[in-house]
Amino acid sequence: MDNWYLVRLDFGQNVAHFGRVGIGLEETSDRLPSDSLFSALISTYARIYPEHLGSLLDAINGPKPPFRHSSTFIYVRNQETYRYYLPKPLSFPKNYQTDDNLTLTKAYKKLAYLPLEVWQSWYQGEGFTKADGDEIIAHAQAQSSQENRLQKLGMFDYGKTHRTAKLPKVSLDRITQASNFYHTKVVQFQCEFKEAESQKTQSGKRQPEKQAGLYFLLHFPQANPELMDQLKTVLSVLADEGIGGERSSGAGRFTLDWVKTLPEAWRSLLQFAKPNAYSLLSLFWNDQKDELSQIKEDKNARYEFQDRGGWVSSSPTGIQERRKKVRMFSEGSVFAFPPQGRLADVTPPRFNAHPVYRSGLALSLPISIDLQ
């Protein structure tokens, strides 16, 4: 699996703020979607490599983009073992009986993210089993056991990987100096330490026994060492400056972990040889009729939409304008083909400083489902 890379963002005990469209500072998501990650990468790239920006954007919006990436999702490191969560595809796994049990149906619908091993078993392996259903029902009825397979794999532990909190803030009017009190909601990822002094590293800092953070997949269709090195530099800058909102308050800073060798579990996932559908790991947008007509004709397609908007923060000009809104397919949407997508031009009216793009480039995984 050449040219596939796994990138982990370790926030340690730092907080982060990932805003949601139409909600404001009082709410935060637990992760960063692909279009926001792309914006962070490109805006930082523009500051470091301004002479290459135009040609890179032209290539990205061309027929063969030089790279694609997923949205960020949560991982958990327990000592030396990593658990990765993936968005649950919107199609039911093979062998799932939709009208079998109301308790199971309700509990299943609440599952938004699956551990990699469960995701692979359901969508690339034998599919959904009666034992899986029994375990999900048992957990819903508070009868789950640590000995159960799904429980061991962390199926029901997603909510433990992070917590949110409200931070009090005060802003001052630039003219009257009148104060305005408000709250900002932030997310903090799980970080558990052992009390033993032996857990200290050579630097004198304690090593967390269990640590959660974010990860994303990065794919270069063709080897491009120069661009890869540039993106490593960009991510290193973002690690120091922070990613997401409230960076001026120190939020969003992380330690970059660029995994050199793709773990075997991921290699197996990407090499699945007999797919009949594809599930999105990123947001997806396209206005080209050929791809949209394929979706319209696909009776097995399952998808949801997200409205994406926000503000332009233009470093060279200092101008802030609200971007045009665009509606994108959500992660977990399922199609009969691997969607491609493209950049959406969301430049605000009367904003002439530079074009503003939202990434609708798609990254998906092959799956096998029961077709109608």
Nearest alpha-carbon partner for 112 in 130, 88, 136, 132: 88
Residues 116, 264 contacting (CB under 8 angstroms): no
pLDDT of residue 327: 94
Residue 177 belongs to some domain of the structure: no
Residues of the chain with pLDDT under 50: 198
Name the residue with tokens 């109608």.
372
Domain count, the chain: 1
Residue 195 belongs to some domain of the structure: no
Q: Tell me: the pLDDT tens digits for 316-350?
A: 556 677 788 899 999 999 999 999 999 999 988 88
Question: Rounded to whole angstroms, how far apart are CA atoms 136 and 131?
Answer: 9
pLDDT of residue 358: 92
What is this structure's pTM?
0.91
Residues 43, 255 contacting (CB under 8 angstroms): no
pLDDT of residue 201: 52
Q: Tell me: the pLDDT tens digits for 40-97?
A: 999 999 999 999 999 999 999 999 999 999 999 999 999 889 999 999 999 999 999 8
Residue 13 belongs to some domain of the structure: yes
Residue 323 belongs to some domain of the structure: yes
Cβ-proximal residues to 366 (8 Å cutoff; 6+ apart), any chain: 124, 270, 272, 275, 277, 278, 338
Terminal Cα distance for the chain, rounded:
32
Cβ-proximal residues to 317 (8 Å cutoff; 6+ apart), any chain: 353
Residue 187 belongs to some domain of the structure: no
Residue 302 belongs to some domain of the structure: yes
Residue 123 belongs to some domain of the structure: yes
Residue 358 belongs to some domain of the structure: yes
Which domain range does residue 134 map to? Answer: 4-160+209-367
